[in-house]
Amino acid sequence: MLSVLLSRAREYEAERLSNVSPSLLPRFHVTGGVGWLNDPNGFSLYKGEYHLFFQYYPYDTHWNDMHWGHVKSRDFIRWERLPCAMAPDMDYDCKGCFSGSAIELPDGRHLLMYTGVGKTDEGGEIQTQCLAFGDGTDYEKYEGNPVIGADMLPEGGSPVHFRDPKIWRSDGCYYAVAGNLHSDGNGAVLMFKSGDALKWQFLGEIASSGNRFGRMWECPDLFRLDGKDVLIVSPQEVKGDDMNFLYGNTTLCLIGNLRDDSSLDREYEQTIDYGLDFYAPQTVVTADGRRVMIAWMQYWNSVEVRPAEELPFFGQMTLPRELRVQNGRLIQTPVRELEAYRGERIGFAGVKIGEKTSFPGINGRCLDFTVKVRPAGEEFSRFTVNVAEGSGFVTAVSFDSKENTVIVDRSKSGFPEDIMNRKAFPVRGCGGEITLRIILDRYSMEIFVNGGEQAASFVLFAPEEAGDISFEAQGIAEADIESYRLEI
């Protein structure tokens, strides 16, 4: 039986979506289609298809009572929209069905694990971890909810900031990690275990911000990859101390080894994405064993920075990325499935670039192109790619070969009131050489540096007519350029 709130959401979105022209939406990046979207939730392989849920408010393009929206795909590129999966219709989640995850159960059901935000008798809020079971379209909330409550928190753990469970199954048992705020102001990741996914026990606090990486830690995910344990989290209120860590909400990857399922011995710490729009990533394992990550391509601190003309939706996901760990670093590359959508290849090898120049056929806003740059003479100090250019708009991606930084300037990218419009980040020094792969999809740009050593995501709202691409250098650079229009 659908609740009144869920039926209302489903009817509303079906009606509104039938009036939204696809020309207003990104071509292959997930949005709610209408309304508001934030974190990816329940990214899972279920009966051979990738399901993705998301934090969703269908009625308005601003955050409000959280529902779960739902899409699915066979290849991470073409997504089919499914009806809203959950609405905040129970006492224990009446203030929102917050973020969570999903797995396929051995008996064929799809299990969602999420945070219910409820009200206390005193009028405050409380967060507990809840379950819903379904068939890939319709979900029933478990009658025994919540399954993890405040009674399982370690001493000092806040029941008001206890959320975003990520569940997985290993050796016949279920595990989950969730974010928590400790009374000493530190964010922490707590780990739980269960034999049946219904009754849970607390295992330990596996990592904490240690007064260094912000306060509350949101949306954890923990997995083993290339011989290491990798914990990803989204900390709030970070005081970024250098170009590596952003101020405010950011994302962090901790790489090391998990000891006794209860503590992570950290060896490396890294920002996951260096752009201005990336938060709350979550991963899934593909049928062929790849670990793939998707994130909300947005940043909480700039959700009010919007295009001049309101679109029917607000909030996009990143392109899913394949992950690897190499030499202690997380390497990210766009899912290989994207390559099936490449049109004709346009390539230029060994071209000399100084003054601003463009190349026939390399333009548009739905493109996958790679430029390999090297110095051609001692004067070379900077190389710039301008995208989404025209009618007074331009987004500039520059490589400063003396400072070994990439600088992105989106002050002319279609945000009338964007005050946080420039981002610089360090890259590995390679004697003035760099490879930039840039993926454009109407309202976004994702940059992958040196084969995925670094990624940087940006939302752009320049109108689609701003489709020129040009290249320029201070001094002379030599470049190999390879470009494909994406036919999606």
Nearer to ligand FRU by Cβ, of 298 and 332: the residue is: 298
Structure tokens at 408: 């992105």
CA distance 6 to 353: 56
Catalytic entry in 39, 93, 164, 273? 39
DSSP string for residues in 87-106? -S-SGGGTT-EEEEEEEE-T
**Contact between 250 and ligand FRU (CB under 6 A)?**
no
Torsion of CA 413, 416, 419, 422, to 10 degrees: 10
Strand order in the sheet with 454-459: 342-353, 477-486, 366-375, 434-441, 444-449, 454-459
Please state the closest distance from residue 202 (CB atom) to ligand FRU, in A: 20
Instruction: Mark residues 410-429: x for contact with ligand FRU by CB under 6 A, - for none.
Output: --------------------
Please state the closest distance from residue 363 (CB atom) to ligand FRU, in A: 35
**Contact between 66 and ligand FRU (CB under 6 A)?**
yes
Residue for token pair 């500039």: 396
Determine whether 106 is exposed, middle or buried from the number of CB atoms within 10 Å of its CB (0-12, 13-18, 19+): exposed
Please state the closest distance from residue 217 (CB atom) to ligand FRU, in A: 9
CA distance 258 to 239: 27
Nearer to ligand FRU by Cβ, of 205 and 368: the residue is: 205
Site size for ligand FRU, by CB under 6 A?
13
**Contact between 280 and ligand FRU (CB under 6 A)?**
yes
How does strand 35-46 pair with strand 313-314?
Answer: parallel
CB 453 within 8 A of CB 328: no
Interface with ligand FRU in residues 160-179 (CB under 6 A): 163-164
Interface with ligand FRU in residues 102-131 (CB under 6 A): 115
- The string over 445-480, giving b where at least 16 C-beta atoms fall within 10 Å of a residue's C-beta and e elsewhere, is bbbbbbebbbbbbbbbbbeeebbbbbbbbbbbbbbe
Interface with ligand FRU in residues 201-220 (CB under 6 A): 218-219
Torsion of CA 82, 88, 89, 92, to 10 degrees: 140
CA dist 245 to 101, 220, 234, 250, Å?
Answer: 26, 18, 12, 7
CA 233 to chain centre: 11
Please state the closest distance from residue 160 (CB atom) to ligand FRU, in A: 12
HEC letters along 321-353: EEEEEECCEEEEEECHHHHHHEEEEEEEEEEEE
**Contact between 98 and ligand FRU (CB under 6 A)?**
yes
One residue of 31, 55, 384, 421 binding ligand FRU per CB under 6 A = 55
441 is catalytic: no
Nearer to ligand FRU by Cβ, of 38 and 398: the residue is: 38
Please state the closest distance from residue 31 (CB atom) to ligand FRU, in A: 16
**Contact between 446 and ligand FRU (CB under 6 A)?**
no
Nearer to ligand FRU by Cβ, of 93 and 368: the residue is: 93
Please state the closest distance from residue 179 (CB atom) to ligand FRU, in A: 7
Nearer to ligand FRU by Cβ, of 39 and 478: the residue is: 39
Nearer to ligand FRU by Cβ, of 44 and 298: the residue is: 298
Q: What angle do CA 351, 354, 358 make, to 5 degrees?
A: 65
Please state the closest distance from residue 86 (CB atom) to ligand FRU, in A: 13
One residue of 39, 221, 229, 446 binding ligand FRU per CB under 6 A = 39
Q: Which residue is nearest to ligand FRU (CB)?
A: 98
Q: Which residues bind ligand FRU (CB under 6 A)?
A: 38-39, 55, 66, 98-99, 115, 163-164, 218-219, 279-280
Active-site residues, by number, are 39
